[in-house]
Chains A and B, each alone.
Chain A
Amino acid sequence: MNGMTPIVKKVTQLIVGLIFLYGIYIITHGHLTPGGGFAGGAVVAGSFVLLVLAYGSNILKLKKREEGSSVVESLGILLFTVLAFAAIFIGTKVFFANYLPKGVIGELISAGVIPLYNIAVGIEVAAALFTIFLALVIYKEEVLK
């Protein structure tokens, strides 16, 4: 599909980095301010969707399938499962427990293992939404050779 007019392209070039940084801020400060993994992941996916809509699908410049974002999504949920299984060997030896030390309420490094869960869910949600967008809007139907 084609891109948009030069005004849209110029404004996108200035803004898309700020949206990406805002999404990462929402993900990592999920235990202090409103937000968390799901909200931050959706904002990061929104920045990628904006880039593809403004510049056309030539910016992807790759093969005919959405392999890259699909692999990133699988890595995200694999990280989530590894963190959940690692609770069997450390600490109280219960599946899916909170085993890192909880610091002072209100610091950036606190609340045990919750920031790591936020990062894993954020990666997974962002890659899943971008894969859904690519599959339904750009690569609509392909023929298996």
Chain B
Amino acid sequence: MEIVLSIVIVFMILGAIYALYAKDLLSALISCGIVGYGLVICFLLLQAPDLAIVQIVVETITLVIMVAVVLNSTREELKEKAVVNIDGVSYVHQRYIVNVILVVVFALFLLYFFKESIFTLDHFGEHVTRMSTAYIEKAAEQTGSANLVTGILFDFRGYDTLGEATILFTAVIGILTILRAKGKK
């Protein structure tokens, strides 16, 4: 089980690295689709069918919208490079050095916390959270639904669902506002 999951995640990492270094924007978007659909396979291996259905449809709609945005504007990657060659000596653009140093600092900072947390978590596949036994025993007769995830999502944690519906509504209002107003003369 761990071996199959590791192979799929290595494919996702390779797809993500290619998506950030492609010369053509359309190829980069197709590589982003590799990461999304590889995640669907991981969800199916981890016994979560609800998440697989939502992720596959949301990923398709996101790819359609991004391809439409790219094809309507420009398809090519930016031409000038960060490393320029003047008189045989290669200069690196000043902003690029600062960004790479910033990424390394963040990575070390996060690596320290990751090391601390990975020794308190149990092995993969044996982790039991404190609430999970109580939810699994009580959810069936207190909510009355056979699907435990839906029962938790709409009865025990109903406020999260209310907040999410509000966020989706606000996002639609925000998009309609950004793309409309061209100013009054």
Do A and B interact directly, with beta carbons closer than 8 Å? yes
Q: Which chain A residues have a beta carbon within 8 Å of chain B's beta carbons? A: 26, 30-36, 38-39, 42-43, 45-46, 49, 53, 66, 70, 73-74, 77, 80, 84, 96, 98, 102-103, 105-106, 110-112, 114, 117-118, 121, 124-125, 128-129, 131-133, 135-137, 139-144
Contacts A36-B153, A111-B143, A124-B169 given; does A144 touch B69 at CB 8 Å: no
Smallest CB separation, A96 vs chain B (Å): 5
Return chain B residues, CB-CB under 8 Å to A49: 61, 64
Q: Does B159 contact A (CB under 8 A)?
A: yes
Return chain B residues, CB-CB under 8 Å to A136: 65, 68-69, 175, 179
A46 to B61, CA, bound (A): 7
- The listed residue (A36, A38, A43, A74) touching B147 by CB distance below 8 A is A36
Contact B143 A112 (CB under 8 A): yes
Contact B53 A32 (CB under 8 A): no
- The listed residue (A36, A53, A70, A118) touching B64 by CB distance below 8 A is A53
Contact A128 B172 (CB under 8 A): yes
Q: Does B6 contact A (CB under 8 A)?
A: no
Q: 14 other contacts beyond A36-B147, A98-B155, A137-B64, with CB at 8 A cut-off?
A: A32-B147, A34-B49, A34-B149, A35-B50, A39-B53, A39-B57, A84-B158, A110-B145, A117-B154, A124-B169, A125-B168, A128-B168, A133-B61, A135-B179
Instruction: Report whether over half of chain A's contact residues are helix, strand or loop; otherwise say mixed.
Output: helix
Contacts A98-B155, A121-B161, A124-B165 given; does A34 touch B147 at CB 8 Å: yes
A96 to B65, CA, bound (A): 36
Q: Does B181 contact A (CB under 8 A)?
A: yes
Q: Which of B136-165 contact A (CB under 8 A)?
A: 140-141, 143-147, 149-151, 153-155, 158-159, 161-162, 165
Contact A80 B165 (CB under 8 A): yes
A140 to B175, CA, bound (A): 11
Size category of the B interface is 35 or more
Return chain A residues, CB-CB under 8 Å to B95: none
Return chain A residues, CB-CB under 8 Å to B145: 31-32, 105, 110-111, 114
Q: Identify the closest chain A residue to B155 (Cβ).
A: A98
Return chain B residues, CB-CB under 8 Å to A43: 53, 57
A43 to B56, CA, bound (A): 10
Rank and list the top 7 A-B pairs by shortest CB-CB distance, nearest first.
A102-B144, A31-B145, A111-B145, A34-B49, A42-B57, A111-B144, A39-B53
Contact A39 B50 (CB under 8 A): yes
Q: Does B127 contact A (CB under 8 A)?
A: no
Smallest CB separation, A67 vs chain B (Å): 10
Q: Identify the closest chain A residue to B66 (Cβ).
A: A136
Contact A42 B61 (CB under 8 A): yes
Smallest CB separation, A42 vs chain B (Å): 4
Q: List 6 A-B contacts (CB under 8 A).
A: A26-B53, A32-B146, A36-B149, A39-B57, A42-B54, A73-B172
Q: Does B72 contact A (CB under 8 A)?
A: yes
Q: Does B184 contact A (CB under 8 A)?
A: yes
Return chain A residues, CB-CB under 8 Å to B49: 34
- The listed residue (B53, B72, B140, B176) touching A34 by CB distance below 8 A is B53
Return chain A residues, CB-CB under 8 Å to B150: 30-31, 36, 114, 118
